[in-house]
Amino acid sequence: MKRVLVMCTGNSCRSIIGEALINAKLEGIEAMSCGVAPSGKVNPNAKKVLEQHGIWKDEYHSKNLDKVIDIPFDLVVTVCDHAHETCPMFPHPIPKIHVGFEDPDGKGFEAFEATYKEIEEVLLPKVQEALNNL
């Protein structure tokens, strides 16, 4: 089982959607997410889009890197520029990739649907490719 950490700033939208999509769609890969400045809550529209696609789990929540820093990840993925620029050092060297997505926070539900689709179409193949190349 490969482990992937998906990071963004608030850990309320993009990284949660990425975590859920990786867990639901990529076999043999376990994803978690965190934020460099977590909001402490999942955006209601992010939860709604995951529920509508049948991949929401109550265990998904906004958390700080401190909660996952000691887990041995195979890959770290940043999904926003701020997290990419401020991505912290990990106790052990971990391959990192950056795939940025526009933040849907503060926009209508359609923006969350578009973000879900974009993460599914763009992020998942890049995660799979990065893990295959390890």
CA dihedral of residues 109, 68, 130, 96 (deg, nearest 10):
100
- Catalytic residue, candidates 6, 8, 31, 32: 8
Whether 87 is catalytic: yes
Whether 13 is catalytic: no
- Catalytic residue, candidates 13, 29, 46, 80: 80
- Please name the residues in contact with 55: beta carbons below 8 A apart, sequence gap of 6 or more: 20, 21, 23, 24
Q: Report phi then psi at 9, rounded to 5.
A: -75, -60
Whether 34 is catalytic: no
- Please name the residues in contact with 82: beta carbons below 8 A apart, sequence gap of 6 or more: 8, 9, 36
Angle between helices 109-118 and 14-25 (to 10 degrees): 50
- Catalytic amino acids? 8, 80, 87
